[in-house]
Amino acid sequence: MTKTEQLFDDAISLIHARGSQYGHPMPQHSRIAQLWSAYLGYPITPNQVAIAMALVKISRSVESPEIDDHYKDALAYLAIAKTCHEAMQDNDFDWKE
C-alpha cells in the first residue's frame, strides 16, 4: 500500500470510528452551524462547518507538514462535508435533533 493509499485508509477508519462514537455527522454539524451563525451574524450550513474544519487542518499542515493527522483529518472533514450536503438535499433524511 502506498503512503497515499494509507492516508485515505486512515481517513476512512477515522470516519467509521467517529461515526460509531457520535452517529451521523449531520446533527453535530447542524448544531455547530447554528452556533457559528449566531456568533457571525449570517447563516452557516452544516457542510460549510465541515469545510471550515478541513481548512483549519490544511492551515495546520502549513506549519507542520510532517504531521500526518492534519491531512487525514482534512480528508475526513471533506468527506463529512459531502455527507452533510447530501443529507441536506434528502427530504426524507431526518437529521434534526
Take residue 53 and report the three cell numbers written for it: 474544519
- pTM listed for this prediction: 0.87
26 touches 87 (CB < 8 A): yes
Q: What is the pLDDT of residue 34?
A: 97
The pLDDT value given to residue 95: 57
In order along its 97 residues, the chain shows pLDDT tens digits of 999 999 999 999 999 999 889 989 999 999 999 999 999 999 999 999 999 999 999 999 999 999 999 999 999 999 999 999 998 888 777 655 5
Every domain of the chain and the residues it spans: 3-14+25-89
Residue of 88, 9, 19 whose CA lies nearest to 49: 88
